[in-house]
Structure 1
Amino acid sequence: MAVSAEAIVYAQGALAPSTWAAYTADWARFTRWCQDQGVDPLPVGPAALVEYIASHAKLVDVDGRPTYSPATISRWISSINAVHSREGMAAPGAHPQVKVVLAGVRRLSGAARPTRRVAPLMRDDLAHVLEVAREGTYPGGVHAARDACLLLFGFVGAFRREELSRLRVADVTRHRDDGLHVKVRRSKTDQESRGAVKALPYGQRPITCAPCAFVRWVHVLDAGHDRAQVMAAVFEVAGGAGHVCRAPEFEAHSLDGDRPLFPVVHRSGRVQPDAMGGHGVNLVVKRRTMAAGLDASRFGGHSMRAGFVTQAVRAGASSLEVMRQTQHTNPATVAVYSRDNDPLAGNAVTRLGL
């Protein structure tokens, strides 16, 4: 019995569109290699798949480092497995011979090409970045209001880049006691869209108060596309140094709840209908850290999330407390941040009395 088009649609819905796009590109790469080698790609035998892995794992760049990371090669095998499974065939990557070769690639290539992790954006550095970013002019003030909200959401909410880009205005609810409740409709660890709510509490200082940053930004958004009204809103939100998170005069009244919370903003200050992508989030972090005199090459979109974990661990938070906000599913992942960014946390060397 042939698989219906409807069934294929639901099967593809099990993974994010970006994942299917990567699988499609990976499969095209593999089929081209099979054509060059005279090998049938579907089904492919373990011997041919092992040769495919080895032929790419041995490639190096001008510095002698592997051209393709173990993670990339592993994803290729996942793509090949997915195509075989979709056709009702056994996944060739599950063969013991393939698993052994992949393990060897991870061990040998991983040593030659260590994982590059971005630096965490810590609380004091974030406060400095936000102070420098404050601007009451037009159009720079529009960018400043959006970027301040983005940076604080990313840090306080420990959001991933793609989660920030997917947020809509209606996903954020102001809460009298908690500050903000932010609905996360889907995440890397929630592909079935069960959803979760993150709380972004009131900050002690206005500059690091996420609810204040949100109120300022939606007040600018609420001004619409009329340049004079947007300019007035920018001047209003930049005019005071105190908290505005409870200020009734900054309530937004006309915002479409389905519009992106973090849209693209043209250099002219005009807000675009499209949401920022993960790359755009990354650029904001680099641009703002550079403006603050930090080494922007060390920072990226993940620095806000890494900063949250590192700051929380240094403050004595347990792995479970950290995971409550980050939505990690494995405490070992949290331990990686502690090991790489806060090596003295829980370390017996601090007890030596030297």
Structure 2
Amino acid sequence: MENSSLLPVVVPTRSHSLVELPPSVARYVEAGLHGAENTKRGYAADLRSFQDYCEHHQVLHLPAEVTTVAGYVSQMADRGMKLATIRRHVAAIAKLHQLAGQPSPTGHEALQVVLDGIARLVGKRQRQAPAFTVAELKQSIRAMDVTTPTGLRDRALLLLGFAGAFRRSELVALNVEDVELTRQALVIHLRQSKTNQYGLEEDKAVFYSPSADFCPVRAVQEWIESLGRTSGPLFTRMSRGTQVRPAQPGQHRLTDQSVNDLVQRHLGISYSAHSLRASFVTIAVEAGQSNKAIKNQTKQKTDAMIERYARLDDVKRFNAAQYLGL
């Protein structure tokens, strides 16, 4: 039987043609086609749903017809699913066809018309994670029992997540060795992020606070000291008795969902892990920080993304009408 690793690699291109490449490039092709791990997991669940729909209606899911995808997204809209969720399912279907080297129905003009109609009827405005205030964050920190490992961890995660404008996927991926203490700040070395999937290291700086109780640098230092190790996952789950789990590389790392649960436990059910990042942007904009300064921390690529993240729709707090001099 011929070794499959010696076979040429057939790659679907954006124009749906196929390019044959030597087997030595196979692992790079795999990484380029599949993308980030979180994306793959999300797409897998969406594609199971799409395949179930196709089996129920006795139509092909690969290659799928435009009418099939249109019916699928219409059903999701009728069930009250969010526009963002519907678009994610469409992206998953597009990725499935790309990986299979099949023309994707998702780019067809007729489907775009259907999606535009769904957007008008369902509403384009997605529910966004609200931003908390610094006062709310401080109140949640005061309520923690930082004499316990759980309290130390939670304080460090909330303060670092907010001051560093971290995504939850970035927080859970951090290792102890990614944290560097300098005289001016705590520097976090990001090996990969949503907007940097090619492994180019990016740095975030977190600075000392005048108050030790709310200082992200001191909080992270105390948490690392409690871990008693210099490598492995930075934020870990707790075993029974609220003890830190053993430092086994890659194991017992907090999950995305556990970060979300942690934020809601301390700040309230209306908030989410994304509120850490949204709050940073909102408070920085309110403080008059430049878009360049904000992007240095968030690693966003455009000013438009800052506008999207900032929660400045409270007409009583953010309104030029209060500065008219009347």
TM-score by length of 1: 0.78
Contact 2:46 2:89 in 1 (8 A): yes
Q: Determine the C-alpha separation between the residues in 2 that align with 1:341 and 1:216.
A: 37
Q: Determine the C-alpha separation between the residues in 2 that align with 1:305 and 1:7.
A: 37
Cα deviation, residue 206, structure 1: 0.7
Q: For 1:256-295, what aligned pairs fall within 5 Å after superposition?
A: 256-257=230-231, 259-272=232-245, 273-289=251-267
Gaps of 5+ in 2: 1-7, 11-21, 246-250
Candidates 47, 50, 67, aligned match of 1:47 = 67
Question: Which amino acid is 1:185 matched to?
Answer: R
Candidates 124, 137, 153, aligned match of 1:126 = 137
Cα deviation, residue 269, structure 1: 2.4
Q: Determine the C-alpha separation between the residues in 2 that align with 1:105 and 1:312.
A: 34
Cα deviation, residue 12, structure 1: 4.1
| SS of residue matched to 2:289 | coil
Q: Is residue 16 of structure 1 aligned with residue 36 of structure 2?
A: yes
Residues 267 and 128 of structure 1, relative CA distance in 2, 3 Å threshold: farther
Candidates 166, 169, 180, aligned match of 2:176 = 169
Look up the match of 1:227. Answer: none
Of the two structures, which has the highest relative contact order with CA contacts closer than 8 Å and spacing of 6 or more? 1
Q: Is residue 73 of structure 1 aligned with residue 86 of structure 2?
A: yes
Q: Determine the C-alpha separation between the residues in 2 that align with 1:7 and 1:36.
A: 39
Look up the match of 1:310. Answer: 282
Give RMSD over aligned pairs: 2.3
| SS of residue matched to 2:89 | helix
Residues 342 and 157 of structure 1, relative CA distance in 2, 3 Å threshold: farther
Look up the match of 2:118. Answer: 105
Equivalent pairs, count: 301
Residues 12 and 154 of structure 1, relative CA distance in 2, 3 Å threshold: same
Q: Determine the C-alpha separation between the residues in 2 that align with 1:152 and 1:211.
A: 9
Q: For 1:325-344, what aligned pairs fall within 5 Å after superposition?
A: 325-340=297-312, 343=315
Cα deviation, residue 200, structure 1: 0.7
Gaps of 5+ in 1: 60-65, 223-254, 290-295
Q: Determine the C-alpha separation between the residues in 2 that align with 1:189 and 1:286.
A: 25
Identity %: 32
| SS of residue matched to 1:173 | strand
Q: Determine the C-alpha separation between the residues in 1 that align with 2:93 and 2:25.
A: 20
Residues 184 and 58 of structure 1, relative CA distance in 2, 3 Å threshold: same
Q: Is residue 182 of structure 1 aligned with residue 188 of structure 2?
A: yes
Contact 1:122 1:307 in 2 (8 A): yes
TM-score by length of 2: 0.84
| SS of residue matched to 1:297 | coil
Residues 135 and 83 of structure 1, relative CA distance in 2, 3 Å threshold: closer
